[in-house]
Structure 1
């Protein structure tokens, strides 16, 4: 089943707004902004489905117009059910000049025999900021389904103009390679990835240290943050709890979001 979602975030009179949205079942979009004085747009992607089913194809298209600021939120954990053929998801995100897009998604939970291939294509113009976070778990851990899915792959490609500046490929095949092996999960059960890109001022040299400092008080995780070029920083976290990793990414997200607000105000002044 092909499921479509389209969102366009516009900008007018100093405020971001939902210019247009289109969706088919099971998607819904809700405005979750809390403060009328906040000129940014806050949306939540909701779903009436319990998760992604065998044969599903999710097609998501998000456009952030010039000067618009959009923070997108997910509703809950995304379950990948038992499959024979597999499911797919493609997200296309377009950032026009001077726009900001921030999206940290709830963890993905692959059930036994789940097969999933995801692709995120993000295209950025000048003076844009992107924060994009994803988490994959071992499965239904408390039900004894630890790494019993068949195939999970999620590829994220970020382009600045026509140039590829970041590419992240998460590939987990527990039936072919033990997840505790070196270079895999190494004893942990959950993995989080956050990509931050700034095509305006670029990334400050001390940003990885700032982000690492935000996580210093967290126990039971191992984390790293590194610059992947003049415009981007990538954070990777391994842990044993989905909620903990989600809170870690949200903490980083809010730090970067507030910094983007300050930068926007300074531009206006």
Structure 2
């Protein structure tokens, strides 16, 4: 299987790194956002871009079985002034087992010019047994720009009995407003070395979700709106949900939630997203999301 660029020495003791690239820029033309430029190498590409309630919807496709040992995905998104895009993918991001000392990774950057809006709503991440995955995201905002993202993390294929059987998960997010670093988050989970099920840690929970919105438009009123959505969320029977929201150091709100299944968190993230769209953007829910 060709995974684009082959980087690093090849040998019995040296893992192979295959780097796949997706670079896309968006522009506003006559009030409609378009794909201004795109470049990709297998196995990731844009499967479809389509007008969506005055913005652009983009679906990313991975034509491989998922991230294999040695895979590295690099995605770069550039949004010109006044553009508005919603980005998602076709299915769960599946992270396959890796050898000791190996692993897979994804490096993603978002550049938003003045008044650009990016709503990044990917499907959940599924960490298979013995998987090691590093995920790194960098966001650059200019005045008036809005960036939102929701993530759901699964502990493994729970129907096959996998729960926290992966080796390591590292997640990093940094956000800059102009030249100022306004948010930095680092997360590292190594189930075999940590007391995952201890009170104050994961306890009985197995799945984790986060939602972020960053913009100089964000204030304490938006925090109150999001907290109200959390307080009114009716958790499905058999799947308790614990969640909270807080203002970040500057220009942002962070929401965290945990449960015993992915779909209750997906539903909660959808409701949080709708609340943020209404409060920050003055936009209704996207029509294709309404039942």
TM-score (norm 1): 0.91
Match of 2:191, SS state, is coil
| Aligned residue in 1 for 2:212 | 195
Paired with 1:194 and 1:262, the residues of 2 have a C-alpha distance of: 18
Q: Which moved more, 1:213-222 or 1:173-182?
A: 213-222
Distance 1:183 1:60 in 2: 34
What is the alpha-carbon distance in structure 1 between the residues aligned to residue 112 and residue 224 of structure 2? 27
C-alpha deviation, 1:20, in angstroms? 1.2
2:84 is aligned to 69
Spell out structure 1 runs of 4+ moving beyond 4 A.
none
Q: CA deviation at 1:252?
A: 1.6
Contact 2:207 2:262 in 1 (8 A): yes
1:50 Cα offset (Å): 1.7
Distance of aligned partners of 1:18 and 1:258 in 2 relative to their CA distance in 1, 3 Å threshold: farther
Cα pair 1:95 1:125 within 8 Å, conserved: yes
Equivalent residue, structure 2, for 1:254:
274
Q: Provide the rounded CA distance (Å) in 2 between the counterparts of 1:248 and 1:176.
A: 30
Q: For 2:271, what is the secondary structure of its paired residue?
A: helix
In the other structure, the counterpart of 1:209 is 224
Query: Greater CA deviation, 146-155 or 179-188?
Result: 179-188
Question: Any conservation in 2 of the 1:212–1:223 contact (CA below 8 Å)?
Answer: no
**213-222 or 43-52: bigger deviation:** 213-222
Name the SS of the counterpart of 1:206 in structure 2: helix
The question of whether the paired residues in 1 share the 8 Å contact of 2:182 and 2:250 is answered with no
Residues in 2 aligned to 1:62 and 1:132: alpha-carbon distance in whole angstroms: 13
Unpaired stretches in structure 1, ≥5 consecutive residues? 264-269
Does 1:117 find its partner at 2:137? no
Instruction: Write the distance in 2 (CA, Å) between the matches of 1:31 and 1:45.
Output: 7
Q: Deviation of residue 182 (structure 1)? A: 3.9
Answer whether contact 2:174 2:185 (CA < 8 A) is retained.
yes
CA RMSD in angstroms comes to 1.6
| 1:218 shift after superposition | 2.7
Question: 1: CA distance between counterparts of 2:21 and 2:199?
Answer: 38
Q: Which residue number corresponds to residue 59 of structure 1?
A: 74
Query: 2:245 aligned with 1:228, yes or no?
Result: no
Query: 1:65: how far off?
Result: 0.6
Superposition pairs of residues 148-227 of structure 1, within 5 angstroms: 148-199=165-216, 201=217, 203-215=218-230, 216-219=232-235, 220-227=240-247
Is the 2:222–2:280 contact (alpha carbons within 8 Å) kept by the matching residues of 1?
A: no
Is the 2:46–2:59 Cα contact (8 Å) retained in structure 1? yes
* TM value normalised by structure 2: 0.85
What is the correspondence of 1:104-143 to structure 2 with a 5 Å cutoff? 104-143=121-160
Measured in 2, the distance between the counterparts of 1:143 and 1:95 equals 41
Shift of 1:72: 0.5
Q: How many residues align?
A: 259
Deviation at 1:128, TM superposition (A): 0.7
Whole-angstrom distance in 2 between the partners of 1:258 and 1:31: 26
- The CA deviation string for residues 105-138 of structure 1, in whole angstroms up to 9 with x for no partner, is 2111111110111110111111111101211111
Q: For 2:32 and 2:49, how far apart are their aligned partners in 1?
A: 15
